[in-house]
Amino acid sequence: MEKLLIVDDNKQIGSILEEYAKKEGYQTIIATDGEEAIRKFEEEKPDIILLDVMMPKKDGFSVCREIRLTSNVPIIMITARGEDFEKIMGLEIGADDYIVKPFSPGEVMARIRAIMRRIVREEKQEQLFIYDNLTISLDHYTVIVNDDLVPLTKKEIEILWTLATAKNKVFSRENLLNSLWGYDYLGDDRTVDSHIKRLRAKLMKYEHPTWDIKTIWGVGYKFGVIADEKK
C-alpha cells in the first residue's frame, strides 16, 4: 500500500483529505506543522506528499527544499494564496504540482493519480541516457557533465531527459506541460519558461560545446546537437 503524507495545520482539511485518500487505497500519514512534516517524512518514507505552504514552525517552501536535498518523492503544494510568484517558487524549488485553496478533494485525488501514473510510465522506460559528456539517469535522478554531478531539481532533470532523449525534436511549451505536469495541470506555460531558464543557468557552469538547449522562437525548445546544426 502506497503512503501519502498530508501536511496541513488545518485539521479539518487534513481530515477530509485523509478520508478521500483512504478511499483511493492510500495509507495516510498526518503532520500539522513543518517540523513534524520533516520528521514523519524521514520516519515513514512516503510515496507522495501533499504539502501546505503556510504552516507554523517551518513553511512549506522550507520543507520542500529540505526534502529535495535527499529525495525526489512527488510533492504537491497547497496554498490559500494564488499569486503567480508563489506558484513559480514552489515549482522551481522542486514541487511537482500546485493547488490553490479552496479546492475539491476530488481534484486533489485526480492530481495524485496523474502524478503516480506518470511515475509508473517512467519506470517502464529506459532509465539511462548518454550523449558525449552528458549522462542522465532517471534511476537515480542524476545528471553528470564532464564527470561532475550537476545539482538539478527533479523537474529540471525530467525536462532535460525529455528534450535530450528526442534530440533536435522541438517541444512546445504545451507539449512539456502535458508530458511532465499532466493534462489536468492548471498552470500556464510560464512555468516551463522558468524551469528552462534555471536549467540553462545551471548547465552554463559546465562546458558542453557539442549540445545545448535551444529556443525555437514562437514554438518551444529542443536539445540541439551542434554537429547536426552545422551540416
Strands 128-131 and 97-100: unpaired
Residue 185 in grid coordinates: 495541470
Model-level pTM?
0.57
Residue 102 in grid coordinates: 479552496
pLDDT at 152: 92
- Tallying the residues shown for the chain, one arrives at 231
Q: Are 98 and 74 spatial neighbours (Cβ–Cβ below 8 Å)?
A: no
Domains and CATH numbers, the chain: 3-123 (3.40.50.2300), 126-229 (1.10.10.10)
* Ordered per-residue pLDDT tens for the chain, 231 residues: 789 999 999 889 889 999 999 998 999 999 999 999 999 999 999 999 999 988 889 988 899 989 988 888 889 988 876 666 666 777 777 888 888 888 888 888 998 888 888 776 666 555 789 999 999 998 888 999 999 999 998 889 999 999 999 888 999 988 888 888 764 555 566 788 889 999 999 999 999 999 999 999 888 999 988 765 554
